[in-house]
Amino acid sequence: MATRILIPTPLRGFTDKQDVVEADGQTVGELLANMTARYTGLRQHLYAADGSLRSFVNIYVNDDDIRYLDKEKTPVTADDTVSIIPSVAGGRAS
């Protein structure tokens, strides 16, 4: 069963303008891997070069940040909604 993933505004250009996509997977990691296999343009904006999620990418399962669950091993079901929520950060040069 597929799980719904909510796509934030800046990434919709990589999901055919869709704000919701579906993917299969039993964990958040599997879900994101399957989603980025289909929408390959998402990869570089979600993952750093070492394959870890970028620090300003927040993944929520329903209302919970996966950092406080089991990170990418957090289990998901078809009843869950997964959200990709940006942190927006920056600042002037050090």
Partner 1 sequence: MLTIRAAADAGIRRHGRDAYPHECCGALIGRAGVVTEALALPNATAEGPRRRFLVRPVDYRAAERRAAERGGELVGFYHSHPDGPARPSQVDLDHAWPAFAYVIVAVANHEPGSLTSWRMRDDRSSFDEEAVVIETADRNQPDEHDETPWPPGS
Query: What is the contact surface with partner 1 in residues (CB under 8 A)?
Result: 8-14, 41, 44-45, 56, 58, 60, 65, 85-94
State the Cα–Cα distance between residues 70 and 66, nearest whole angstrom: 6
Shortest distance in whole angstroms from residue 8 CB to partner 1 = 7
Judged by CB, which is closer to partner 1: 18, or 26? 18
Whether the CB-CB separation of 32 and 46 falls below 8 Å is answered with yes
Judged by CB, which is closer to partner 1: 19, or 24? 19
User: In a 3-state reduction of DSSP, which class is residue 85?
Assistant: strand
User: In a 3-state reduction of DSSP, which class is residue 13?
Assistant: helix
Judged by CB, which is closer to partner 1: 2, or 38? 38
